[in-house]
Amino acid sequence: MHLPIELDRSRPEPLQNQLYEQLRGLIINRRLKPNTRLIATRFLAEQLGISRTTVLLAYERLIAEGYLETRPAVGTFVCSVLPDQAPAPLVNDNRVDDLPQTELRPPLFQGTTPERVTAQPQQSLIDFWGGPDFRIFPLKTWQRITQHILESYGRGISRPPPSAGIDSLRGAIADWLAAHRGIVVDREQIVIVAGAQQAYNIAARLFLRRGDRVVIESPGHTGATFLFESLGAVQYPVPVDDHGMLVDQLPPGTTALAYVTPSHQNPIGGTLPLDRRETLIEWARSAGAYLIEDDCDGDFRYRGMGPPSLKSLDPYGLVLYTGTFSKTLGAGLRLGYMVVPPDLVTATVAVKTLLDNGSPWLEQTVLAEFIASGEYDRHLRRVRKTYMERRDCLVGALRLFFGDVRLAGIDTGTYVSWRLSSSFPPAPMVQEVARSRGIGVYTVSEDHASGRNDYRYADNTLLLGYSSLEERQIRDGIAGLANALHNHRRVATG
């Protein structure tokens, strides 16, 4: 969109006013028609050679006066109905107006902005963000295998990969799951996907119509819940406690899909006990629902085996199991997998094909070799040991500086949730205070509850990841947090 606007710096009138006047004129004269999307402020600023702030201020004024309106995540539009005082068009010129035309429809996508989906470390000195430690990535080994693969099989890089995934990787994952997760399936049931995020898409494409009900945990993982929301599903949030989803609050009637994180409830951290898992499966059976079991933290278990996966407990073939390598290796690989019942393999592969024709060849082939050679085992043992030490360090530091802290999610995953006692300010304030000291901590924000905050402890729950910090940083961070909060805590009464 190129707007016919000319600003004159030699005039006394500020650029912002000139821009406002000219835009208003274009709207009134119907050169910019109702429901037209305006060019984004940064691009208009570039086009005109002025600061973005100037453009923003002009837009803001037009919004305040009712000429423009913003639609979140989509853009700024000319209002359908203009303010009364807008005079009738004075000029009706050129062929743009002569042609019969329909306005370009605005995008259907009205969902939430991407920034809130991807968890990224904040710009802090010490960030308790819970993602993998990039320094631990086995780069030398990965390089060696990559070089070997390119030298031996390099032409494969140009061939269309099988949509379901490279066969050797599917096999390596099947073996892995049998040996380590008690999930015994044929490699045909494994479909390689672009991370767990794509698995949510495939499950939705298979079973979710607009208006269908999808059960989610509340608070829950926004990567999944935002997607379901964007597809027009009706979300039914079920509350959680320190042991995961409160399955006695699952809804009656028909449900299309349920999304659960039973290993380490995202974000509170609870592990769903066996009895609740059985109840959940029976509920799904009666509701006619498929269960997405998101086991992205499944490789991080620090105490014993934990309850069996929903997948291995399921007699009905209604569990769609999802795992990922984003947490153990790295999100830059964009590799995860789904384990589906045999009768869904064809449809799953068909949907994957229609989505992107398969994942890239190189990462899959290197990863298959990495797993098959035993390197993944070695790497995981090392990572698990390191994370466990860091977890111990965090828990120790919290107890040292804050006494008897109430923590959940200690036995699994890469972060803990801390229920702050009443002597603390609300969690968002703790986060602010910490940020001012260069320390990054996380809260159960509104995002996690996907629009309806069921979690009664949202205001006093803090999330602290330990995986990406060295022990010294953890101790310094908690000490700094204690210091920062010193003046903000009420003296405990009695």
Cβ-based neighbour number of residue 379 at 10 Å: 19
Q: Which of residues 392-431 bind a second copy (CB under 8 A)?
A: none
Contact between 351 and a second copy by CB under 8 A: the answer reads yes
Work out which of 130, 132, 306, 307 binds a second copy, going by CB under 8 A.
Answer: 132
* 197 in contact with a second copy (CB under 8 A): yes
By the rule CB under 8 A, 251 interacts with a second copy:
no
Rounded CA separation 43/39 (Å)? 7
Out of 56, 63, 82, 117, point to the residue binding a second copy (CB under 8 A).
Answer: 117
Q: Segment near a second copy (CB under 8 A), from 26-34, 136-144, 403-411, 469-477?
A: 136-144
Does the footprint of a second copy cover residue 205 (CB under 8 A)? Answer: yes
In whole angstroms, what is the distance from residue 326 CA to residue 330 CA?
4
Kindly tell me which of 80 and 346 has the beta carbon lying closer to a second copy: 346
SS3 of residue 485 by DSSP: helix
Under the criterion CB under 8 A, does residue 256 sit at the interface with a second copy? Answer: yes
Tell me how far apart the alpha carbons of residues 393 and 399 are, in angstroms, rounded to a whole number: 10
Complex with a second copy: residue 446 or 459, whichever CB lies closer: 446
- Going by C-alpha positions, the residue among 257, 254, 204, 210 that lies closest to residue 233 is 210
Cβ closest to a second copy, residue 342 vs residue 451: 342
One-letter amino acid of 23: L
State the minimum distance, in angstroms, from the CB of residue 193 to a second copy. 8
Q: How far apart are CA 459 and CA 419, in angstroms?
A: 9
CB nearer a second copy, residue 137 or residue 401: 137
Instruction: Select the residue interacting with a second copy from 83, 288, 403, 451 (CB under 8 A).
Output: 288
Binding test (CB under 8 A) with a second copy, winner from 195, 270, 409, 477: 195
237, 218 Cβ separation under 8 angstroms? yes
Partner residues linked to 478 by β-bridges = none
Q: In the set 43, 236, 302, 401, which binds a second copy (CB under 8 A)?
A: 43
Which residues, 6+ apart, have CB-to-CB distance to 91 below 8 Å? 29
Query: Position of tokens 């380490």?
Result: 264
Q: Looking at this protein, which amino acid is placed at residue 107? A: P
Instruction: Give 6 or 151: the residue with its C-beta nearer to a second copy.
Output: 151
> Pattern 216-235, binding to a second copy, x per CB under 8 A?
-------x--xx--x-----
What tokens does 137 get?
A: 């990535």
d(CA 458, CA 252): 26
- The residue among 189, 136, 492 whose CA lies nearest residue 319 is 189
Rule CB under 8 A: which of 299-338 touch a second copy?
A: 315-318, 326, 329-335
- Shortest spacing between CB 219 and a second copy, in angstroms: 19
Q: Among residues 51, 109, 175, 303, which is the contact residue for a second copy, using CB under 8 A?
A: 109
Using CB under 8 A as the binding criterion, the count of chain residues that bind a second copy stands at: 111
Identify which of residues 145 and 474 has a Cβ nearer to a second copy in the complex. 145
Q: State both tokens at 48.
A: 């005109």
The residues in 152-181 that bind a second copy, with binding defined as CB under 8 A, are: 154-161, 163
Q: How far is CA 212 from CA 168, 173, 235, 356, 400, in A?
A: 37, 32, 8, 25, 49
Of 287-295, 377-385, 441-449, 473-481, which segment contacts a second copy by CB under 8 A?
287-295
Does 103 interact with a second copy (rule: CB under 8 A)?
Answer: yes
Residue 70 lies near a second copy (rule: CB under 8 A): no
Query: Between residues 152 and 483, which has the closer beta carbon with respect to a second copy?
Result: 152
Looking at 127, 363, 369, 447, which residue binds a second copy (CB under 8 A)? 363
The site string for a second copy over 376-395 (x = CB under 8 A, - otherwise) reads --------------------
User: Is residue 38 part of the contact set for a second copy (CB under 8 A)?
Assistant: yes
Our CB check for a second copy shows the closer of 14 and 121 to be 121
Angstrom distance (rounded) from CA 452 to CA 236 = 10
Q: How far apart are CA 279 and CA 287, in angstroms?
A: 12
Nearest 10 degrees: Cα torsion 329, 333, 339, 343: -170
HSE (CB half, 13 Å, CA atoms) of 374?
0
| 78 is an interface residue for a second copy by CB under 8 A | no
The angle at the Cα of 108, spanning 104 to 109, to the nearest 5 degrees, equals 130
